[in-house]
Amino acid sequence: MFRLILLAVREIERRNSGALPLSYFAFWTVRLAGWLPRFNACATCGKPFGKQPAYQAASHPGLLCEEHRRSGMKPVSFAAGNSRNALRENAWTGSMRQSKRYPR
Ligand SMILES: [Zn+2]
């Protein structure tokens, strides 16, 4: 955790902007704590979404498939689906690695 804090502070200083480093810090804090939901599979049954829509609601953690969606849940948009893929592929990590200060 100390290395993550140190990385974020150095990147804020180097970039003179906190947007990406703070997003990176928040993402990894949630992930390391074990609170990050899966973005590519149903939180109830674990079935991968593939090309099928995922459903979400602010009152429910994680994304659900068509079969397990609850009333009031809304489908995640295509743009959000791309974000799901970006998170899965650790796009932010790649960007932070380019800084050469990424902890190994
Ligand atoms: Zn399901």
Mean pLDDT, consecutive 10-residue stretches, the chain (104 aa), reads: 92 91 92 86 92 89 92 78 55 54 48
Bridge partners of 55, per DSSP, are 64, 75
CA of 59 relative to ligand 1 center, distance in Å: 17
**Confidence (pLDDT) at 80:** 57
- pLDDT of amino acid 104: 42
Q: What is the DSSP string of 9-76?
A: HHHHHHHT--HHHHHHHHHHHHHHHT-PPPSSB-TTT--B-TTS--EEETTEEEEE-TTT--TT-EEP
What's the pLDDT score for residue 82?
A: 58
Q: How far does the centroid of ligand 1 lie from the alpha carbon of residue 34, in Å? A: 20
CA nearest to 84, candidates 32, 48, 45? 48
Give the pLDDT of residue 62: 87
Residue 34: per-residue pLDDT? 86
63 CA distance to ligand 1 middle (Å): 9
CA angle 45, 82, 27 (to 5 degrees): 75
What is the rounded (10 degree) CA torsion for 2, 102, 27, 63? -140
